[in-house]
Structure 1
C-alpha cells in the first residue's frame, strides 16, 4: 500500500495533478516513477501541463536526470517547462547545468532569474550571483530579498543597505532580511533602528531582534525584547536559553527551559549544549539520553561538549555509538565533521586523519561521504598546526569547489606558518575565483601579515576593506592592524589608530600596543594609563608596564 496515494483506474487531470504534487512534496521517487508510467498509459499522456509538473516533481525528488528526460520528451515546451528544468538543476546543486539551461532560454521571467541567482548564492558564489542580479532587467522583491540575505551572510552591510534603499516596494521579509543582516554582524544599534521602523512586525522580526542582543552578549537587552514580544515561538524561548547559558547563568537557563510551553529538538539540543559547555556533563548526557528524537545537531552538541571539557575518549565513544545506531547519510556526515573538528582543536592531527567509526583510525579517508564542511574541517584541523601549511594546501587542492570558509582556513594556515606572501597570493586567487571575502577573510589576511611582518600588504588590505569592498572594518581588523604596526615599531601610527577606532578599544588592542612600547617609557606610560583605567584587574598590564620600564634602563 502507498500511504496517501489513492489508487484509481482512470484518474482525470486534476487527480493526476494532486498525485504529482503529493509525490514531489513527499520526495517519493519510487512512487514518482510509477505515477509517470500511469500517466503515459492514460489518455492524458500528451498533456504539456502534466509533463511540466513531472519535471518539477522529479526535481523535488532529487532526480534532475529524470527531470531532464521528461523535459526532452516535451515537444511544445513553454516558459514553465524551462523554469521547472532550471529549478530541478538549481535546487539539487547542478549549477553548471542550471546555468546552461538558463542561457538557452528564449524567454525568461523573474522565476527563471531567481532560480539561478539563488543557486549561486547557496553555493557560495556571491560574485556570480551579483553579476547575474545586475543583468536582471527588472528585479522583483523576491530576488532582492535573496540578495540582501546573501550579502548579510557575508557581512557586507553596505551592499545590503544599497539594495534595500533602492527597492520600490518592500515586504516584511525584506525588513527581516536587513534586520537579520545587522543582527548577525553584531550591529545591535542599526538592527534596533531597522526593527523600530519595520511595519507589520511579525514573530520573525521580534526573534531577529532578540537574536541580535543574544549574539552581542547583551542579556538585559535580550530579556527586555523577550518580555515585550506579543507572541513567543520556540525559537525565541530557545534564544533566551542560549543567552543565559552564554552568560554563564546555568540556573536561569535551566529554569527558563523548564518554563517553555513546548520543546522541539532544537530547544532540547540548546539545553544540552548549555549544560555541556558549562561543565555539567553528567546532566547534559542525561538530558541527551532523554531526547525524544536525537538528530545530528544533538549528537554533535554532546560530542562537542565532551571535547570542550577535554574528555576526548568519551567524545570518541559517543561517536562510535552513533556509528552503530544510525545510518542516515546526512547525520553520519555531519557527525564525522564534528569529530574531525574535535581532533583538530585538540591538536590530534594524526588521529583526525586515521580514525574510523570507533577507535581513531582513518577518519577522514574512511568517511562514507564528504561535503564542503568535511573538507573545511579537515583543512582547518591541519592548518591550525604550525608547519603544516604544505599539508593543508594538499587538502585544499582536493576540494572540488572551495567555500569561503575553506579559503579562510588555507589563508590562515599559511599565515600561522609565517608565510604571509603565500597568504596574500591565496587571497588574490580567491578573488579571481569569484569567492566573496567576509570579515573572517580580512582578519586572516591581516593576521598573516602580522605573523610575517608584511606591513605594506597589511596596510593595503586594511584600506581595501572600505575602498575596494565597501565594507566597514570590524574591531578585530583594527586589532590586527595595531599589532602589525606595533611589530613594525611604527608606534605613533599604532597609537593614532587606537585613538581613531570607531569602537571602544578592547584591552587586547592596548596590550598589543603596550607590548610593542618596550623601551618607550613615555608612550608606554600613556598607553598603560588608559589600559588600567579600563582593565585594572588585568595582570598582564602590570607585567607589560614592568617590561617597558626595564627596556628603557
Structure 2
C-alpha cells in the first residue's frame, strides 16, 4: 500500500505561492461559515418579527432560506414557520409537519411543540394530543401547549393533576393556563390548591400568576380574597389594575372602590387603556353619577380613547338608562367605529326609532345577535308596533335566530302583549327545548289576556316537564285570583306545591298568594301567609293592606299602614290606592284627603287617575259634590275618564241632575263610545222623572252605535264541575228549567215569610 510520507524539510521547499493559496482558501472558508451563520440568524430575527404581524411574509422568508438547501435551516426556523401557519395558512403547516418528519427535525422538541400549538389553535386538539403522546421527553413547553388547548375545564384540570402526579415542575405559564379553568364554584377548590402550590414554590410574586389568581377569585365572587392577592403583589401592571376594576364592576356593589382605584391609577401615573376607562364609566353608571362619567370620558378623549368603541358603548348605556337618550344618540353618531354592541345599545336607548335603526344596522353590514333581537323585540312590544313585530319575526326565521330560546321567549311575550295568543302558542310549540322561562312567558300571556283556564292548563303541563319557579307560580296564582270561574281549591293546590318546593316565603309567591286569597275572600289564609314571611317588603305589606281594603276593613287597613311606615317600609302608589279606597268606604273623608296629600308631600309619589278617582268617590259618598267638582277642576292636565265617571256616579246617588249633565257631556266628549256614561246619565234623569231627557240619551246611544255590555255572575257548586256563568234572563244552562222553578219557589217562600212577619207586627 502506497503511503505518502512528508518530510519536514520537504515542506520547507513548498512554494510560497502555494502556501499563500492554501491560507487564502482557509480564510475564505471561515468567512463563508461566518456568512452562513449571519444569514441564518438574520432570517430568524426577521421571521420572529413578522410571524404575528405578517405571517405570510414570514413564510416567504422561510421558503427563500430553504431554497438555499436543507442545511441552511434549523429547528428554530421550522418552529417559527409553523407558528406562522395559522388560519388560512394551516395547509402549509401540514406540509411542514411532513417535511419535519422526513428531514429529522421532528426529533427536536421545539418542532413538535410548535406543531401542537398550531393544531390547538386550529381547533384540531386531537392531532395535538397524538403528537404529545408520541413524545419521549416532553418539556414544560409541551405540557403548557397542551394545557392551553383544552376547551373543557374538567379535562384540563385532569391533565393538570396528571402533570403534578408525575412530578412536572410548573412554571408561571403552567399556573396561568391552569387557573383560567378554575373560575366556577365546582373547580374553585383546585384553583385554591394551585394557589397554595404557587406560594410553596415562590411563584405567587410573578405578575402573570398574580393576575391569574386575581381573575380566578374575582370570577368566583371571592372579592375579599382577590383584594388580598392584589395587595400582596409586589409588582402590579395594567392588567392587574384592570382585572380588579372589572371584577368590582361585575360584582355590582363596589362602584365607589372602582372610582377610588381609577383615581389611584391616575395619581400613580399608570398608563390607562380602554378597559380602565370602561370600568370607571360603568361604575359612574352604577352610582348614577352622570357628571363624573362625562369627566372621565373627557380624560379618555385626552388619552386618545374617547372614540374607542367599548368606551362609547358604556357611555351610551349610561345615557340611555340614567340620562337623556338624545345624548346617547349624539354620541353614537360621532362614533368612528360601531360594533354589534353599539347598535344594540342605541336600539334599546331609542325604542321609538328602533326599527329604523335596525334597518341602518343591516345596511352598515353589522349582523345582529340574539341580544340585539331581544332588545328590538322588547322595543316593538312596548311601542305596540305590531306590523314591525311580524317583520322581525320573519327576519329571525331567515337567520335561524329562533333557535336561541331567549329570542323565542321574547316573541311569545310580544304576541301575548298584542293579544295574539295563537301566534304566541305556535312560537312556544316550535321550541326544541322548552325551559321554564318559556313556560312562564306563555302562562303569563294567558293570564294577562284573561284566558285563565288556559293559563291553569298550561301550568299543569309545565310542572310535569320542568321545575316551576316563583315566576311560574306568580303567573298562575294571578290567573286564579282574577277568575271567579276557577275554584279556590286550585289556588290551595298551588300553595301546597309552593311549600313542597320551599318557595312559600319568596317575595313574589307570597305576594301572589296574599292577593289570590284576598280576592277570593279568604282573609284568614291571607293573614296566615303574611305572618309566615320573614322579611316583608312593600309588596307584602301592600298585598295585605289591599286585602283588608277590598273587604272594607278600615281599622285593619290604617293599622297595617301605620305599622308598615313604623317598620321603615315606604308605601308605593298601590298602597296609597288601597288606603284611600278604605277611607272612602268608611266615610273617613278628612283622613283620606290627608293621606292623599302625603303622597306628594312626604313620599314624592305622583298621583294617578285611580288616586284622583278615589278622592272624588270619597267626597261624593259623603255628599260633598261641590268639593268633588272643584277637586276635579284642579287636576293638572284635566281629569281622566275614570275620575269623571266617579263624579257622575255620585251625582246619580244624590240626584244632582244639573251637575250630572255637565259631567256627562264632558265624559261623552272624552269617549263617545263608552256605554257606562250614557247609562248613568240616563238613570239620573229617570230617577228625576225627566223621561224626555232619558229618551234623548238613548237616541244618542243608538245614533253612535253604543251598546250596553251584558253583566255576568258566577256560582261555585263546590263540586268537581267547573263554575257556572249566568246573566239576567239567561237560559243557556241545561238545567235552566229546574233552576228557574227553584228561584220562583224561593221567591214565593220569601213573600210568604214577609207576609207572616207583617201579620205578626199588625197583631
Same fold per TM (> 0.5)? Answer: yes
Pairwise CA distance, 1:252: 5.2
User: 1:466 aligned to 2:611?
Assistant: no
Q: What is the SS of the residue equivalent to 1:547?
A: helix
- Measured in 2, the distance between the counterparts of 1:165 and 1:551 equals 64
Q: Structure 2 length as normaliser, TM-score?
A: 0.51
**8 Å CA contact 1:336, 1:367 repeated in 2:** no
CA distance in 1 between counterparts of 2:650 and 2:681 reads: 11
| Partner residue, 2:512 | 377
CA contact (8 A) 2:284 2:292 kept: no
Aligned residues: 463
Alignment CA distance shift 1:51-1:168 (3 Å)? closer
Asked if residue 526 in structure 1 is aligned to residue 678 in structure 2, the reply is: no
Aligned 8 A contact 1:240 1:253 in 2: no
1:488 is matched with 622
Distance in 2 (CA, whole Å) between partners of 1:502 and 1:318 is 44
- Structure 2 partner of 1:118: none
Match of 2:427 in 1: 287
Q: 1:375–1:41: structure 2 CA closer, same or farther, 3 Å change rule? A: same
Task: Indicate which of 257, 265, 268 corresponds to 2:408.
Answer: 268
Q: What does 1:216-255 correspond to in 2, within 5 Å?
A: 233-243=372-382, 246=384, 249=386, 253-255=389-391
Q: Which residue of 2 aligns with 1:453?
A: 587
1:259 aligned partner: 395
Deviation of residue 464 (structure 1)? 1.8
Q: Are 1:343 and 2:480 matched, yes or no? A: yes
Distance in 2, matches of 1:69 and 1:224, equals 48
Specify which of 525, 532, 543 is matched with residue 398 of structure 1: 532
Question: What is the deviation of 1:515?
Answer: 1.0
Structure 2 vs 1, CA of residues 10 and 454 (structure 1 numbering), >3 Å: closer, same or farther?
A: farther
CA positional deviation for 1:268: 1.5
Provide the secondary structure at the position in 1 that maps to 2:499: coil
Is the 1:176–1:204 Cα contact (8 Å) retained in structure 2? no
Q: 1:353, CA displacement in angstroms?
A: 1.8
TM-score scaled by structure 1? 0.67
CA distance in 2, matches of 1:468, 1:257: 47
Give the structure 2 partner of residue 511 of structure 1. 645
Equivalent residue number for residue 325 of structure 1 = 465
2:488 maps to 1:352: no
* Alpha-carbon shift at residue 511 of structure 1 (Å): 0.8
Conserved in 2, the CA contact under 8 Å of 1:465 and 1:471? yes
Within the candidate set 163, 167, 186, 1:30 is matched to 186
**Which residue does the alignment assign to 2:710?**
none
Distance 2:584 2:330 in 1: 42
Report if the CA contact (8 A) 1:420-1:448 is conserved.
yes
SS at match of 1:461: helix
- Structure 1 residue 510: Cα displacement: 0.9
Give unpaired runs (5+ residues) of structure 2. 1-151, 235-239, 262-279, 298-311, 335-341, 690-763
3-state SS, counterpart of residue 365 of structure 1: helix
Q: Spell out the pairing of 1:532-547 with structure 2 (5 A cutoff).
A: 532-547=668-683
Distance 2:666 2:438 in 1: 45
- Cα RMSD (Å): 4.6
Determine the C-alpha separation between the residues in 2 that align with 1:547 and 1:494: 20
CA distance in 1, matches of 2:605, 2:293: 21
State yes or no: 1:433 paired with 2:567.
yes
List runs of 5+ in structure 1 lacking aligned partners.
93-97, 103-107, 115-139, 149-162, 183-190, 214-220, 356-360
1:195, distance to aligned residue in structure 2 (A) = 6.3
Between 1 and 2, higher relative CO (CA 8 Å, sep ≥ 6) is seen in 1
Write the deviation string for residues 233-288 of structure 1: whole angstroms up to 9, x where unpaired: 313431354247x57x4x65333311345444333123223445666544433321
Answer whether contact 1:241 1:256 (CA < 8 A) is retained: no
**Superposition deviation, residue 176 in structure 1:** 5.0
Contact residue 514 and residue 526 of structure 2 kept, 8 A: yes
**1:14-25 counterparts in 2 under 5 A?**
15-16=174-175, 19-20=178-179, 22-24=181-183
How far the C-alpha of 1:372 sits from its partner, in A, is 2.2
Matches within 5 A, 1:310-321: 314-321=454-461
- CA shift, 1:14, in A, is 6.2
Which structure would you say has the larger Rg?
2
Distance 1:333 1:3, change over 3 A: farther
Whether the 8 Å CA contact 1:209–1:225 is kept in 2: the answer is: no
CA contact (8 A) 2:419 2:449 kept: yes
